[in-house]
Amino acid sequence: MNLTLFVWRQKGPGAQGGLEEYQAKDISPDMSFLEMLDVVNEDLIKDGKNPIAFDHDCREGICGMCSQVVNGVPHGPRERTTICQLHMRHFRDGDALYIEPWRARAFPVIKDLIVDRTSLDRIIQSGGYMSVHTGGVPDANAVLIPKHDADTAMDAAECIGCGACVAACPNGSAMLFAAAKVAHLAQLPQGRAEAAQRVCVMTEAMLKEGFGNCSNHYECQAVCPKGIKVKFIAKLNREFLKAELRSCGTPEAGTPSRD
Amino acid sequence: MILDGRCPPGSLSEKWERHRHEMKLVSPVNKRKYRIIVVGTGLAGASAAATLGELGYTVEAICYQDSARRAHSIAAQGGINAAKNYPNDGDSVFRLFHDTIKGGDFRSREANVYRLAEVSGCIIDQCVAQGVPFARDYAGYLVNRSFGGAQVSRTFYARGQTGQQLLLGAYSALSRQVKEGTVTLRPRTEMLDLVVVDGEAKGITVRDLVTGEIRSVGGDAVCLCTGGYMNVFYLSTNSMGGNVTAAYRAYKKGAFLRTRAYTQIHPTCIPVTGEHQSKLTLMSESLRNDGRVWVPRIRGDRRLPREIPEEERDYYLERKYPSFGNLAPRDISSRAAKEVCDEGHGVGPGGRGVYLDFADAIARLGEGTIRERYGNLFEMYERITAENAYERPMRIYPAPHYAMGGLWVDYNLQSTIPGLFVLGEANFSDHGANRLGASALMQGLADGYFIIPYTIADYLARIKPGKVVRGHPEFLKSVEECKAFVGRLLSIKGKRTVNEFHRELGSVMWENVGMIRSRESLAGALKQISELRAEFWKNVRVPGGEEELNQELEKAGRVADFIEFAELMIRDALHRNESCGGHFRVEYQTAEGEAKRDDENFCYVAAWEYKGPEAEPELHTEPLLFENVQLAVRSYK
Ligand SMILES: Cc1cc2nc3c(=O)[nH]c(=O)nc-3n(C[C@H](O)[C@H](O)[C@H](O)COP(=O)(O)OP(=O)(O)OC[C@H]3O[C@@H](n4cnc5c(N)ncnc54)[C@H](O)[C@@H]3O)c2cc1C
Ligand code: FES
């Protein structure tokens, strides 16, 4: 099949970008979307032009590195599918595709389709963990975790940190991302001790990084390649309320315990 | 030279205990003064960096992805082994040790493997404490599954995303140290060279992948945790950026590389569909717990799988290896698949595939149970092939997957260069000639959480912190060399793209140095690769400039190293006149077609020393002594 692509090209962080047109020729339906771009890039290189820069690594939908908006939808049209796992059989011969980077205040463009997502890492660094040292922990079966809790924690923990939720949100909010981590850890007995403090510092970090507020559009859930549910946002809000009752805003609460 | 693994004396079970006691310590007040560079943030790197940070060292952790959380460990699916014996089915530290040694076809070091088995239980405890949501039963206890090469259930898992959950656990520990200020993260940074001063590793040279700046990073010790090199085959289950560059450049600076011929070809991957293919996707070995492998008895049978009656199917693994059946180890299962396909029984495009069938398991357990166990794998399979594996069997074929070879390390995980430590898949230590499933995750975390924190102290305690500074001439020289290398790649402006070279390299390697090798195939490949190398340096086209984000330039550097590295790999395979594990030479097989080891002449670790660009590398050996297991013919019948 043959397709027409309009791809966002931008030389560098501050540079002016724009859409450029390319032809993708002789594309097999068995190719993945990124393999289709590989073909376009090979042609560009042979023509003496610069190939399209895009992030990717595992190409199996798990590392969360790939990040493209196709025709306005992060990761493209297929539900629960990253762009690297999207196959060309879901498009039709002659289609026109608009390919753009994640767009959000907290994700500045670095080049072409590549953006800077270190803001997500900083949310985790603010307190998205359990404060446990290596060694000196109890036997793995010492604390029983009901299957339902373990499964729910896993549902939340499946987040791959790609940032599609942010790119889809009209407010550029990272609520689903943060909520998935808060819910994952708060669901487990080991994570309860720090739950209140965690939700406070992570929410604060989110705002500091320039992510917007959540106003319940639920676009995030619709594009999440891992099917992370907005019910976790409700869980975050509950945790937050509980924490506020326990004086979340005090200065000490802002610093995770040093052990 | 005869290499010494420096294993401590004493009985197996005393070695590590005693060694820990005998090693030197760095006092808590001094730790902060030592700067440790950790290259790689996979299971090995992240767990090491986090733990070293917790202990108080000053750590700098680098990776080429945009976040530490994206290292390829994230892609591991099936599970992680530990000798917990929770199911009470006869497991023990000794049994895990024994299975690993035997699975590795008696080509690994007893002391290392025993230590691995010993600490395996602590890993599970640690991960649970971090919040890794392993699978549990209704009472809340952890559950296990089985993996190839074992007759007990000792594999812990988190759906089909065990690697992801373990890595996120290690990443969270790492993030905590970033907050504490002990670890500095440098994502989108690639190591291009190791800096050695007066014979000791004192830093690295890196390229900032965003700005293109090439600069020095100095430290008191370097830990390489850079993963495997299976992309030398172009198509593999590894991540696109997986490379041998860090390890290879360390080799050029004097670290010995160990038996690289041991490459693991994983039996259950989705078959190739065409030229455009950029990588291969694994279907976890855990599927073989419930899936049955078969091919049609009639050659070239084109009927739909469901139309082929039971008696016209050949469940060849169950037939050939009745006691392990579908859970025969990887090397054996892969070769068996190739064999039946070579004989014309293969299914799917080009006859390069065998069936992995869940019909019996679904009938026995119900679709719900199968969905719960492997749902995400079935989904992934459907995304790629557009086929529903609940209704028709999967088609699978072997693919390059794991590197058992790597930089040679001693018992302390130190390479032949003092101060250079190697962890995880990048070292060679524990899996011999073949790795058992679910043991790589175990090894990466064992190295990072529980071994390096002790052994690196023994080195650091002997040196003064901050002895060498970044302005040292060796650093400047290395930066100049790296700049020259990059400049050379950009200046060729030839006709062929980097991918074209990589694809050609891969096809030569797969055809000649893949599952089955012969003296002729290896010699032929050696010649082809050296021609390819010459052509690469004359005719490669790398667009763009040096001081910018330039993905083609990144790839070009990696492929250049792969080409040189491939020559070494072949030399190693040529020298090893025996078959063992992932190294199968047609000349050395039993009457039944199984691998025939030669313990008299090859019961050693081969480690190669770089001797200059045009010179042949020099072979050194470390004899392997087996005092606790009996060298036996590996049988899974
Ligand atoms: C698809 C798949 C499934 C698997 N499933 C299982 C399983 O179920 N059980 C099991 O035990 N094992 C499994 N394995 C094997 C296991 O996942 C790996 O062996 C293990 O995770 C490797 O961990 P590592 O920390 O050594 O390296 P990796 O996780 O590969 O990390 C390498 C790190 O090094 C960095 N790096 C590499 N080169 C450079 C450079 N030049 N400069 C800077 N940084 C660099 C990368 O950025 C990355 O951070 C699987 C492997 C694959 C590919
Ligand atoms: S490249 Fe890893 S998720 Fe797409």
Task: Look at residues B344, B366, B399 and tell me which one is the last residue of a structural domain.
Answer: B399
Task: Note the pLDDT of residue A244.
Answer: 87
Question: Is A126 in the same domain as A234?
Answer: yes
Q: Does the reported pTM lie above 0.95? A: yes
Q: How does B151-168 read in b/e, with b if 16+ C-beta sit within 10 Å?
A: ebbbbbbbbbbbbbbbbb
Instruction: Give me the mean pLDDT over the A172-195 stretch.
Output: 97
Q: Is residue B353 part of a domain?
A: yes
Q: How is residue B582 written in tokens?
A: 């992932």
| Residue B169 within a domain | no
> What is the sign of the dihedral through the CA atoms of B368, B370, B376 and B382?
negative
- Whether residues B395 and B482 share a domain: the answer is no
Task: State the total domains in chain A.
Answer: 2
Q: Show contacts of B383-391: CB within 8 Å, 24+ apart.
A: B383/A61, B383/A78, B383/A81, B383/A85, B383/A86, B383/A87, B384/A32, B384/A85, B384/A87, B384/B270, B384/B281, B385/B270, B386/A87, B386/A89, B389/B358, B390/B358, B390/B362
Residue B594, domain member (yes or no): yes
Helix (H, G, I), strand (E, B) or coil at A221: helix
User: Do residues B395 and B271 both lie within one domain?
Assistant: yes
For residue B486, tell me if it sits in a domain: yes
Name every protein residue with a CB atom under 6 angstroms from any ligand 1 atom: B 39-45, 62-65, 71-73, 75-80, 162-163, 190-191, 225-228, 237-238, 243, 245-246, 282, 284, 402, 424-426, 437-441, 444
A212 in the same domain as A182: yes
What is the rounded CA–CA span in Å between residue B241 and residue B244? 10
Q: Is residue B404 part of a domain?
A: no
Residue A158's domain is classified under what CATH number? 1.10.1060.10
**B395 assigned to some structural domain:** yes
| Domain termination site, one of B399, B427, B447 | B399
| Residue B275 shares a structural domain with residue B389 | yes
Mean pLDDT, residues A79-88 taken together = 97
In a domain, residue A104? The reply is: yes
Q: Which of residues 68-87 of A touch B (CB under 8 A)?
A: 78, 80-81, 85-87
Q: Are residues A35 and A159 in the same domain?
A: no
Neighbours of A42 (CB within 10 A): 16
Strand order in the sheet with A96-100: A18-24, A3-9, A96-100, A69-70, A73-74
Domain-ending residue, one of A57, A90, A111:
A111
Q: Is residue B49, in this structure, part of any structural domain at all?
A: no
pLDDT of residue A257: 34
> What pLDDT, in 10s, does the model give residues A35-79?
999 999 999 999 999 999 999 999 999 999 999 999 999 999 999
Contact between B72 and B94 under an 8 Å Cβ cutoff? The reply is no
Ligand nearest to the CA of B188: 1
For residue A258, being part of any structural domain is answered with no
Instruction: Say if residue A139 is in the same domain as residue A211.
Output: yes
pLDDT at A185 over 90: yes
A51 found inside a domain = yes
Q: What is the pLDDT of residues B493-521, one digit of tens each?
A: 999 999 999 999 999 999 999 999 999 99
Instruction: Assign A252 a pLDDT band (cuts: 50, 70, 90).
Output: very low
Would residue A259 count as lying in a domain? Answer: no
Q: 């004359």: which residue's tokens?
A: B538
A256: tokens are: 């995770």
A213 and A139 in a common domain? yes
| Residues A189, A75 within the same domain | no
Cα angle, residue B176 at apex, residues B175 and B180 outer, rounded to 5°: 115
Residue B138: exposed, middle, or buried by beta-carbon count in 10 A (0-12, 13-18, 19+)?
Answer: exposed
pLDDT score at A251: 45
Domain boundary among A111, A139, A164: A111
Nearest to B257 by CA among B39, B113, B415, B424: B415
> Number of folded domains in chain B?
2
Check which CATH number belongs to the domain holding A35 and give it.
3.10.20.30
> A127 and A73 in one domain?
no
Calpha distance B452→B419 (Å, rounded): 12
Same domain, A68 and A101: yes
The answer on pLDDT for A250 being more than 60 is no
Would you say residue A256 has pLDDT above 80?
Answer: no
Q: Is the domain of A97 the same as that of A147?
A: no
| Whole-angstrom distance, CA of residue B406 vs CA of residue B265 | 16
Residue segments in chain B with a per-residue pLDDT below the cut of 70: none
CA-CA-CA-CA torsion for B130, B451, B73, B482, nearest 10 degrees? Answer: 130
Instruction: Tell whether A14 lies on the interface with B, counting CB pairs under 8 A.
Output: no
- A201 with A239, same domain? yes
Question: What separation in Å is there between the alpha carbon of B226 and the centre of ligand 1?
Answer: 7
- Measured in degrees and rounded to the nearest 5, phi and psi for residue B329 equal -60, 165
Are A73 and A132 part of one and the same domain? Answer: no
pLDDT tier for residue A248 given thresholds of 50, 70 and 90: low
Instruction: Give A137's contacts (C-beta < 8 A, 6+ positions apart).
Output: B125, B126, B128, B129
Looking at residues A218-230, what average pLDDT do you find? 97
DSSP state of B183: E
Q: Residue B570 is part of which domain span?
A: 476-602
Contacts of B551 in chain A (CB under 8 A): 51, 53
Nearest-CA neighbor of B580 among B595, B569, B600?
B595
The pair phi, psi for residue B126, each rounded to 5°, is -60, -45
Answer yes or no: do A169 and A209 share one domain.
Answer: yes
Last residue of a domain, one of A111, A146, A164: A111
Confirm whether A97 is domain-assigned.
yes
pLDDT confidence of residue A255: 38
What is the pLDDT, as a whole number, of residue A254? 40
- Return phi, psi of residue A176, to 5°: -65, -40
Query: Which residue range(s) make up the domain with A126?
Result: 118-253
Q: What is the DSSP letter of A74?
A: E
B173 touches chain A (CB under 8 A): yes
CA dihedral A101, A103, A104, A110 (to 10 degrees): 40
With respect to residue B61, please indicate whether it lies within any of the assigned structural domains: no
